[in-house]
Every structure is written in structure tokens, then in C-alpha cells.
């Protein structure tokens, strides 16, 4: 896709997405919701505010046979980073298809120790939170173009 | 970054990158090299043609204290998928910093079993190979914008 095509795609927002967002800040959730609505067509973006709720959500989806999220966005500090890491480890130690869901950390922290430890515990990638509205929009546009336009997600066989 | 800024960035190619590419097709390597040179400024793109050479390259870099690649692109069928998966498992079972390097599968296969198994063995993401030159260019532009512009790579502490 060329840049002009990228712009066209963004304008028509053809990407559907099921995203689970673990975010304890209501302010950030409001910003994220707007950015998601700008970047996707018919997004299903579910927010939970802590790791326990996220694990319950995944368990319930499995029990009920409803679709799992395609990607999880994880705010690392919930409010401590141990809670974010515990969620990562728990998900990655579960059987497929839950273990296969890419978990992308989206944190205010740019501490190299947080970055390294997150990859070590199974994060697919680590992004730092943007600092202005335009950068939030760009961030979700990039996530959308990478995970939904370019990447083949593991859901292809397991849970669609 | 807006679309116009994305285009500007692409034009000035400010992104440096160290990429290890495991690719057994010389034709695809030629295409990849061109796409990388279009998407990055001063890229260090090293090609090896099988998993053994890739593991040796990583071992040598550690022994010599030279920088490890920031991202590995893995052609799954080398020529069988078992070889690709063996490389993935080997890398993910090594100690940090090698285990932390994101491994992105870039394969001709869109077989859902290949996709699921690759995530299960630690692939950061799975992309299918483009079918025309323009799509190859877009693919590397997207990889560049995601992994080098948006993501914080684990090298921040371990090996820079």
C-alpha cells in the first residue's frame, strides 16, 4: 500500500478489530476510545481497569464461546508494574488460544528495565504512551496498520 | 505523526536499523535488500540462508561484543518449516538479551497451522510475503514505522 493508499484506507476506516484494553486511567481510556474509533471501522474495544478483570474477561469468553480479543493492550502500571507483569505471565502460561494473543504494552514508562522485563515476560512489543492527542491518534493508526493490515493474527484457525 | 509527516519521514529515511534476515531464496533477498534500502537510512541488513548460520551469527556477536540485531526476520520454510520453528525455539530458549529479540516471521505460507504454530513458538508476529514489488516496499515501510518509529525495542538496556 502506498502512502496515498494508506491515507485513503485511513479515511474509509475499513479495519474491524476486537481489542481488550487494560487501562486504569479513565482519562487515558477516553483518549484511547477516540483514537480507536478514528482508526477502525466497527471496533469492539473492551476496557477493563485491572489484571483480574482482564483474566476474568478472557475466561468468560472461553466459557461462553464468544470471540477472544485479537490483541491485548496492557498499561503496565496497574498501579504497580508487578500487576502488569503478572497478567503477562498468566496469559502466556495459559493454553492456546489465549497464550497466542499478542499483548502489546502501552505504558507511560520509558524505564529500560520496564521495557526489557516486559519483553522477557512475553510482551509482543512495548510502546510508550503519547503525550498529545495527535500523537495518540498516530499511535493507534500505526497499531492498526501493523496488526490489522500487515500481520496475520493467530486467530485464523483458533477462534474466529 | 500525520500521513503527510509519514510521507516526509519516508522521503528522508531517518531510521537506522540492524536487521538479521534468514532467507534461503536469493531472489527474495534481492527484493528485501532494495525494500530495506528504501525504508531505512544506513541500514545494517545481514542475510543468512539457514537457521544454523543465524544461530552462529548471534553467538559470534555475543562472543565478539558486537551489536546484536534489533529484529530478526525469519523465512519459515528453510526449506522445511521445522527448521524455522527450531530456530524460533532455540532463540526463545536462550538467555537474554538474545531471547528478547523480536522474531517476525515473513513466509509465503498463509496456512493457519503455520501461523498458529509460529506464534506458539514465540514469533512476535507473522506476515505473509507480498506478491509484487510495490507491496514488498509497503511491507518494509510498515515494519519500519512499527518497529523503529513506534516501538521501544528491548535493546535499550541490554545491547546498545
pLDDT digits (tens, 9 = 90+) for B97-113: 999 999 999 999 999 99
Q: Is the pLDDT of residue B1 over 50?
A: no
- Residue labelled with grid coordinates 481510556: A29
Q: Is the pLDDT of residue B26 over 90?
A: yes
Contacts A146 to B, Cβ<8 Å: 125, 142, 145-146, 150
User: CB–CB of A116 and B158 under 8 A?
Assistant: yes
Q: How far apart are CA A91 and CA B33, in angstroms?
A: 37
State phi, psi for B74 to the nearest 5 degrees.
-120, 115
pLDDT at A12: 58
Judged by DSSP in three states, A61 sits in helix
Judged by DSSP in three states, A32 sits in helix
> pLDDT class for A15, splitting at 50, 70, 90?
confident
Cα distance from A61 to chain B (closest Cα, Å)?
Answer: 19
pLDDT at B107: 97
pLDDT at B6: 45
Q: Is the pLDDT of residue A158 over 60?
A: no
Contact residues, B window 51-90, toward A, CB-based 8 Å cutoff: none
Q: Which helix (H) or strand (E) holds A123?
A: none
pLDDT at A121: 96
> pLDDT class for B134, splitting at 50, 70, 90?
very high
ipTM computed for the complex: 0.90
Residue range A53-107, pLDDT digits in tens? 999 999 999 999 999 999 999 999 999 999 999 999 999 999 999 999 999 999 9
Q: Cell for B104?
A: 517476525
Q: Which helix (H) or strand (E) holds A50?
A: none
| A29-43, A109-123, B8-22, B54-68: the lowest-pLDDT one | B8-22
Taking all residues of chain B, what is their mean pLDDT, rounded to a whole number?
90
State phi, psi for A48 to the nearest 5 degrees.
-125, 160
pLDDT at B5: 44
Average pLDDT over residues B63-76: 95
Residues A17/A44, Cβ–Cβ less than 8 Å: yes
Residues A48/A20, Cβ–Cβ less than 8 Å: yes
Residues 6 or more apart whose CB falls under 8 angstroms from that of A94 comprise A58
Chain B contact present for A9, CB below 8 A: no
Closest CA in chain B for residue A113: B157
Q: Is the pLDDT of residue A3 over 80?
A: no
pLDDT at B9: 46
Q: Is the pLDDT of residue B160 over 70?
A: no
Closest CA in chain B for residue A110: B152
Cα distance from B157 to chain A (closest Cα, Å)?
Answer: 5
In this prediction, what percent of chain A has a pLDDT beyond 90? Answer: 85
What is the largest distance, in Å, between two alpha-carbon atoms of chain A?
43
Candidates A146, A149, A155: best to mutate against B (most CBs of B within 10 A) is A146
> pLDDT class for A6, splitting at 50, 70, 90?
very low
State phi, psi for B151 to the nearest 5 degrees.
-85, 145
Candidates A2, A3, A109: best to mutate against B (most CBs of B within 10 A) is A3
CA angle at residue A69 from A67 to A71, to 5 degrees?
Answer: 155
| A3-7, A132-136, B22-26, B27-31: the lowest-pLDDT one | A3-7
Cα distance from A75 to chain B (closest Cα, Å)?
Answer: 14
Going along chain B from its start, the domains and CATH numbers come out as 7-146 (3.40.50.2300)
Residue range A111-148, pLDDT digits in tens? 999 999 999 999 999 999 999 999 999 999 999 999 99
Q: How far apart are CA A115 and CA B127, in angstroms?
A: 24
Amino acid at each position: 500500500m502506498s502512502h496515498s493508499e494508506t491515507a485513503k484506507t485511513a479515511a474509509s476506516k475499513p479495519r474491524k478489530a476486537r481489542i481488550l484494553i487494560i487501562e486504569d486511567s479513565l482519562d487515558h481510556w477516553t483518549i484511547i476510545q477516540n483514537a480507536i474509533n478514528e482508526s477502525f471501522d466497527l471496533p469492539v474495544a473492551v476496557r477493563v481497569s485491572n489484571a483480574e478483570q482482564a483474566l476474568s474477561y478472557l475466561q468468560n469468553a472461553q466459557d461462553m464461546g464468544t470471540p477472544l480479543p485479537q490483541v491485548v493492550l496492557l498499561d503496565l502500571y496497574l498501579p504497580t508494574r508487578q500487576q502488569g507483569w503478572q497478567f503477562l505471565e498468566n496469559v502466556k502460561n495459559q493454553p492456546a488460544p489465549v497464550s497466542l494473543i499478542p499483548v502489546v504494552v502501552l505504558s507511560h514508562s520509558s524505564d529500560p528495565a520496564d521495557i526489557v522485563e516486559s519483553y522477557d515476560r512475553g510482551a509482543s512489543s512495548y510502546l510508550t504512551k503519547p503525550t498529545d492527542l495527535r500523537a495518540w491518534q498516530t499511535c493507534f493508526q500505526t497499531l492498526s496498520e501493523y496488526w490489522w493490515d500487515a500481520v496475520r493474527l493467530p486467530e485464523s484457525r483458533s477462534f474466529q
